[in-house]
Homo-oligomer: A and B are copies of this chain.
Amino acid sequence: MTTVEPTTSYPLSSRNRVKRRHDRGFYDHATVHKLLDASMLCHVSYVIDGQPYCTPTFFWREGKTLYWHGSSASRMLKNQSADQRVCLTVAHLDSLVLARCGFNHSADYRAVMAFGSAYLVTDPDEKERALVAMVDRFFPDRTASLRQSTTQEIKATSVIAMEIEEASAKIRSKGVADDDEDYELPIYAERIPVRTVLGAPEPCPRLRDGVERPASLHGYSEGRLLEDALADAYFLQYPGS
């Protein structure tokens, strides 16, 4: 009996191969997915009449499928029955790197570029499921406590999906890296960490008496890294991923 090795990396092509500083490139599912699942904000690029657009929006992952909602759907997918080529990018900025020469100034970062064809989720059941996931992926089980969506609201929201055909992660995490001889120079160099953190939650001033913050939101606490809260929430909602 032969077993088939599961494919654990995205295939390499001229599109996703990290060309410059290829030592920083990763293609395995684990690295790519971990970065995606620690993110909320992505930038989606698409083309209309030869003009590229780059739209920031929220997204989430299920398996090798990325979903986002349609702030730009009207423009992006209007009058397009065919699939639309897309690049979805996520970037975490981790530090500013001040070196001893201009050329070695840099940053520590973690970024993912994912390529595929986008399509509107039109099946009603699948769309309703995705609209629940769009909230619960970030705030586990929250939808169950909310006022139900109206037909009108579901109609007014577009859900867009894309199977990841190719993806790459690019990571730099080494701080100051100067040319050997430059370390002898009397020049100041440093790494300045950058972190995206949560502030103290601000309850809506119009809460009804006795309505408390649910325990499911405890991961979103003051001072936490946004990416840690997102990764924890993701694991709660998709424990198998």
Contacts from A to B (Cβ < 8 Å): 15, 19-20, 40-41, 43-47, 50-56, 58, 71-72, 74-75, 85-89, 91, 93, 95-96, 98-103, 105, 107, 109, 111, 113, 115, 131-132, 134-135, 138-139, 142-143, 145-150, 153, 156-157, 175-176, 178, 182-204, 206-208, 210-214, 217, 220, 226
A-B CB contact pairs (8 Å), 24 listed: A41-B91, A41-B93, A44-B54, A45-B87, A47-B50, A51-B87, A52-B52, A52-B86, A56-B109, A56-B111, A96-B220, A101-B146, A102-B134, A102-B146, A145-B188, A186-B210, A188-B204, A188-B212, A190-B202, A191-B202, A192-B198, A192-B201, A193-B199, A196-B196
**In the assembled complex, how far is the CB of residue A218 from the closest CB belonging to chain B, in whole angstroms?**
12
Query: Which residue of the partner chain B has the closest CB to A142?
Result: B98
| A84 to B223 Cα, complex, angstroms | 42
**In the assembled complex, how far is the CB of residue A25 from the closest CB belonging to chain B, in whole angstroms?**
12
Residue in A86, A102, A193 with the greatest tally of chain B CB atoms within 10 Å:
A102
Query: Which residue of the partner chain B has the closest CB to A111?
Result: B56
In the bound complex, residues from chain B placing their C-beta under 8 Å from that of A196 are 93, 194-197
Q: Are B45 and A75 in contact (CB under 8 A)?
A: no
| A58 to B148 Cα, complex, angstroms | 42
